[in-house]
Amino acid sequence: MLRIVFAVLLATVSVSAAAQTRVPPSTRAYAPEDIGSLPVSDQIRVIENEYRDQSGGRELPDDQLDFYLDQVKYSRWTFSRIKSDIAGSLRGSGSGGWRPPAGSWKPTSIICSSNDRRYRECRTPFRGRARLQQNISNTRCIEGRNWGSRQGYVWVDDGCRGRFIDSGNGWGGGQWDERTFRCESDGSRQHQCRKPYRGTAHLVRQLSNARCTEGYSWGQNVLAVWVSRGCRAEFSMRDGDWGGNQGDNWGYSVTCASTNDRYTTCAWDRNRGRPRLIERLSNARCDEGRDWGYDYNRGLWVDNGCRARFGVR
């Protein structure tokens, strides 16, 4: 009987000791040595996890991630090589952080991230239009809504994170060419669509049965176009419309009202050029040439009950 009790106790102690010495599963990044055999999305996940492991939780800079992806694709870097380079970059972080090897890497893509859903612009290594090569965020990246590009830059917003490359279409010999985007309102609700770049948008095609009238069911500000009352349309940014040379014109506006349907003139700064209707404020229609207009001598005028806000072209 004593032998049986002793055997049971011995087995219990052995199991307990094994449980105490069991090593918890590793949370470190794992990848095959040939990391290039993984899909790019998995390469990104593994590389970023390895950087967090080595850095104590810090996030891998976008340009460093872009560098590693290129080295895997074009130079067949192994996972060990990447881990070694990460370790070296962290050792040198006190002297300005990671820098790509001088002269040995010419990037053809750019990773741009909207951290904390904030707007961000990234300088591109190319001058042409950007194209989304890969969405690497949980947020869906939609051109014109949460990402876009202008010459030499790509912007992201609202959580979009992507890898962008040159589309190969250029910008029309180095100048801005026509850039078309769509904006649609849901019923009577107002909806805003971010422009591809700062400048003036023009309605080029109405897509809805509801009438799209500037100042009534659509309008714009520096960064976006808004639509409402069922308006759905395509808009374009035309040659030379980027707002880099608009100076003090941005934000200048005048409200002019035809009280009791009477003809009224309002002061307008001639140095601003010709006005355009930004927003209709009256129930009465405001049709240029009939209900409002501009004359160099008389200035800005409204008639037939039109009340609206006018700004620069």
Per-range mean pLDDT, top range of 8-12, 209-213, 271-275 = 209-213
Question: What radius of gyration do the chain's Cα atoms show?
Answer: 30
Q: What is the mean pLDDT of the chain?
A: 77
Overall average pLDDT of the 185-214 stretch: 80
Name the pTM for this structure.
0.47
pLDDT in tens, 137-185: 888 888 877 888 877 888 898 899 999 988 765 444 333 344 678 888 8
pLDDT beyond 80 at 36 = yes
Largest CA distance in the chain: 120
Residue 242: band (very low, low, confident or very high) from pLDDT cuts 50, 70, 90? very low
Residue 101: band (very low, low, confident or very high) from pLDDT cuts 50, 70, 90? low
Overall average pLDDT of the 277-292 stretch: 86
Overall average pLDDT of the 282-294 stretch: 87
Comparison of pLDDT for 49 and 187, the residue scoring more: 49
Comparison of pLDDT for 312 and 94, the residue scoring more: 312
Residue 4: band (very low, low, confident or very high) from pLDDT cuts 50, 70, 90? low
Give phi and psi for 285, each to the nearest 5.
Answer: -70, 150
Closest CA to 255 of 307, 306, 204: 307
pLDDT in tens, 203-230: 877 888 888 888 788 888 777 888 988 8
Residue 34: band (very low, low, confident or very high) from pLDDT cuts 50, 70, 90? very high
Q: For the chain, first and last CA: distance in Å?
A: 102
Residue 245: band (very low, low, confident or very high) from pLDDT cuts 50, 70, 90? very low
**Burial track 31-50 (b if 16+ CB lie within 10 A, e otherwise):** beeebbebeeeebbebbbbb
Residue 29: band (very low, low, confident or very high) from pLDDT cuts 50, 70, 90? low
DSSP string for 272-289: G-SEEEEEE-SSS---BT
Overall average pLDDT of the 36-47 stretch: 89
Q: How high is the pLDDT of residue 187?
A: 73
Domain definitions of the chain by residue range: 35-95, 109-166, 179-245, 248-312
Pair 310, 276: CB distance under 8 Å: yes
